A = this chain, B = another copy of it.
Amino acid sequence: MTFPLPDAIAALSRTPDVLDALLGDLGDGWTRHRPADGEWSAHDVLGHFIHGERTDWIPRARIILDHGTKVPFTPFDRDGHVAIAADRSTAELLDLFRTLRAENVAALRGFDLSTDDLDREGTHPAFGPVTLAQLLTTWTTHDHVHLGQITQALATRYTTEVGPWHAYLWE
């Protein structure tokens, strides 16, 4: 297992700042833009991040640490962001995510995990056995994947307006 926990914490800690820099004070024309029907806007992704902070990463880590493989994780609701995003402004989502992420990174540091701890296993409802290291690496990677989704949503605001450059940007 080559997963360096300090590198993960370094990346996880900065995501609220990345989101604020990317989206804070940008208008809804940017943050609510969906690339296509059924795809997610930056605002929607923020709701998904918040839902993950509440129900996925640290709650699942606690299940591994407290119960090992005996208690399977609660399945993650991929539509859990809808209610979160529906009645909040983008600024409110950014603030809420910052608070939750800070609490969760503090919890992660507080676990004071050893290398042996990182090898401890839990039970994923679909995959079966997974390790704590896999869960924490996925948390970090999930940040970067969905930051990419946000930037791609922003990038698609002006697909027509770029004119012939469309060929260089997307083809």
Contacts and interface: CB of A to CB of B under 8 A. Distances in A.
B2 A25 contact: no
Nearest to A158: B137
Q: Which of A17, A22, A127, A170 has the most CB of B within 10 A?
A: A22
Given A142-B169, A144-B154, A151-B144, A17 B7 contact: no
A148 B158 contact: no
A168 to B, nearest CB: 8
A30 interface: yes
Nearest to A127: B164
A164 B105 CA distance: 23
15 contacts: A7-B29, A7-B30, A11-B30, A14-B21, A22-B147, A124-B164, A127-B167, A128-B164, A133-B161, A134-B163, A134-B165, A137-B158, A137-B163, A145-B151, A145-B152
Interface string A28-63: 011000000000000000000000000000000000
Interface string A139-150: 011101101100
Interface of A: 1-4, 7, 10-11, 14, 17-18, 20-22, 25-27, 29-30, 124, 127-128, 130-131, 133-135, 137-138, 140-142, 144-145, 147-148, 151-152, 154-155, 157-158, 161-165, 167, 169-170
A19 to B, nearest CB: 8
A144 B152 contact: yes
Given A10-B26, A14-B22, A3 B148 contact: no
